[in-house]
Amino acid sequence: MTDFTIQTTLDVSDSLDMKSDLSKLSQAIQTVYGQGQGSRQIVNIFSQAPSKIDVTDSHVSCNLKLKDGSGKLVKVTSKSNLAKTTIPISEGTNTIVVEWPVGSETMNIHKTG
């Protein structure tokens, strides 16, 4: 029973950490979208395990793997002109760049390193 409680607590903590990171990413996306061409934002995301962040023009999300093997979708809304893409993130710190190049009609997002 104690093991289950610890696992549940860790899952809640991981979910809240990912929601916080996705909120930072969403804010960066919306800032670049609002500032227009030539703008750029960098966000560092820390992950406990390899995962993927899904990006669309209306949200960013991540399907976390919980300790019991099930999954939990963490999703934050975000308005932009980004094309649908998936960004693989590795365990540890991941640097994500959101930019809208001068002369481009759309923004782009990618992981560095």
Calpha distance 28→42 (Å, rounded): 7
Report the Cα–Cα distance between both ends of the chain, in Å, rounded. Answer: 41
Inter-residue contact 72 to 66 (CB < 8 Å):
yes
Is the pTM higher than 0.95? The answer reads no
Q: pLDDT digit of tens for each residue in the chain (113 aa)? A: 566 566 666 657 788 999 999 999 999 999 999 999 999 999 999 998 899 999 999 999 999 888 788 889 999 999 999 999 999 999 999 999 999 999 999 999 999 97
